[in-house]
Amino acid sequence: MKQNGGTVKNKNFLIVILVLLVLCLLALCVGGFLLWRRVNNAASGLPNLAETAAAVSTQISTALPEENTPAPAATSVPFVLGAAPVIHLAGRTDIAIPPLDQPSDISLFSCRPAGLVQETYPPGYRIQPGAEFTFTVSGQINYYAGAPEEGYPPDGEPSTFANIEPFGGISGYQGPAGALVGVFLDDAIPNGAAPAALNFNPDGQGTDFERLQPQIGQVFFIGDGQNRAGKAQVFVAPPNATRLFVGLIDGSFFSGPSTCYTDNAGEFKYQITSNQPYQALP
C-alpha cells in the first residue's frame, strides 16, 4: 500500500509539472505576440526613410545654386548714338565741352567746321572684368556735313583709312574711317600715357577677327559687330576694366589729332549683348 501511494504522488507531481510547462509556453506566446504588436505599431508611426531622404535631397538641390551655371546673356534695348560722341572724351570728367561759339585750347575742339552739332561725351556702361560683349549695329553717319543717307555705315568706309593720334590716356586709331569704335577703361580718369594703337587696316589685324581683347585705353573697331562670314564678333573686357564706352573717332580728313566732330550728321543704332550684367552710366 505504501508503494501504491508513492506512485500516485509521483503521477500527480508529473501532471503539475506538465501543467506549469504548458502555462509557461502559453505565457511566452502571449508575451511574444504583444511585443510584436508594439514593435509593429511603433514602426508604422515612423516616417518612410526613403521618402524622407528624397525630400531632403530635393530641398537641398532647390535651395543651393548649381555650380558652374553660366550667367544669362544680358541684351540691351536699342541705343541711339548721335553724330558727335567723341571717344577720346570717355571718362574725361575733368574736361568740360565748350559751346560751339567759344574757342578752346584743347585740341579736341580746335576744328569745328560747319558747327552743325555739339560734341558730346560717349555713352558708357558699368561692366565686369573679363565680360564678353557682342554688338548689333545699324545706321549711317555723314562726316562731311552732308545728308546722313549718303554717309558711312557702322563698318566705316573700307577704302578710306583713318590714322588718328592718341589723346590723354586713350590710344589713337588706325582702321576704316568713320566706323563705330569702343574703349575699355578702369575707374581712373584716362589722362596718363596712352597705350599703343591697334591696327585694323589690312596691313594689320584687319576687321575680320572673331575675338578681341584690347588693353585698357585702347580704341578698338566695332563696326556692325559682325565679321565677313556674318558671325558676331566677341569683345572681351581686359583685367581691371570697369567701364565700356562706345563712340566715334574723327579728324581732319581722318588724319592727325582727334577733332572735327561738329560737321557730322546722322546716327547709329546699336544693341549690346553680354554674358555678364552691365548697367548704363549716368
CATH code where residue 137 lies: 2.60.120.430
Q: Are residues 136 and 210 in the same domain?
A: yes
Q: How far apart, in whole angstroms, are the C-alpha atoms of residue 90 and residue 243?
A: 9
What's the pLDDT at 63? Answer: 35
Residue 51: band (very low, low, confident or very high) from pLDDT cuts 50, 70, 90: very low
Q: Are residues 37 and 77 in the same domain?
A: no
Q: Are residues 59 and 76 in the same domain?
A: no
Q: Please check whether residue 218 is in contact with residue 183, taking contact to mean a CB–CB distance below 8 angstroms.
A: yes
Structural domain count, the chain: 2
Sheet holding 157-164, edge to edge: 173-177, 157-164, 255-256
- Choose the weakest-confidence range: 6-20, 78-92, 129-143, 226-240: 6-20
Q: Are residues 96 and 59 in the same domain?
A: no
Q: How far apart, in whole angstroms, are the C-alpha atoms of residue 63 and residue 159?
A: 58
Q: Are residues 43 and 117 in the same domain?
A: no
- β-pair partners for 174: 163, 199
Q: Are residues 130 and 175 in the same domain?
A: yes
Residue 272: band (very low, low, confident or very high) from pLDDT cuts 50, 70, 90: very high
Q: Are residues 34 and 144 in the same domain?
A: no
Q: Are residues 85 and 53 in the same domain?
A: no
Q: Are residues 13 and 93 in the same domain?
A: no
- β-pair partners for 80: 269
Residue at a domain's end among 63, 96, 113:
63
Q: Where are the beta strands (DSSP E) in the chain?
A: 74-75, 79-81, 124-126, 132-142, 157-164, 173-177, 181-185, 211-212, 220-221, 234-236, 243-247, 255-256, 265-274, 279-280
Residue at a domain's end among 63, 81, 103:
63
Residue at a domain's end among 63, 98, 113:
63
Instruction: Provide CB contacts within 8 A for 266, sequence distance 6+.
Output: 83, 139, 140, 141, 142, 148, 149, 151
CA distances from 153 to 59, 157, 158, 269 (A): 54, 7, 10, 11
Per-chain mean pLDDT for the chain: 85
The CA angle 145-149-152, to the nearest 5 degrees, is: 75
What's the pLDDT at 74? Answer: 74
Q: Are residues 56 and 77 in the same domain?
A: no
Residue 65: band (very low, low, confident or very high) from pLDDT cuts 50, 70, 90: very low
What's the pLDDT at 58? Answer: 40
Q: Are residues 28 and 166 in the same domain?
A: no
- The mean pLDDT value for 67-81 works out to 68
Q: How far apart, in whole angstroms, are the C-alpha atoms of residue 279 and residue 127?
A: 7
Q: Are residues 154 and 247 in the same domain?
A: yes
* Residue range 78-124, pLDDT digits in tens: 999 999 999 999 999 999 999 999 999 999 999 998 888 999 999 99
Residue 76: is its pLDDT beyond 60? yes
Q: What is the span of the domain harbouring residue 46?
A: 2-63
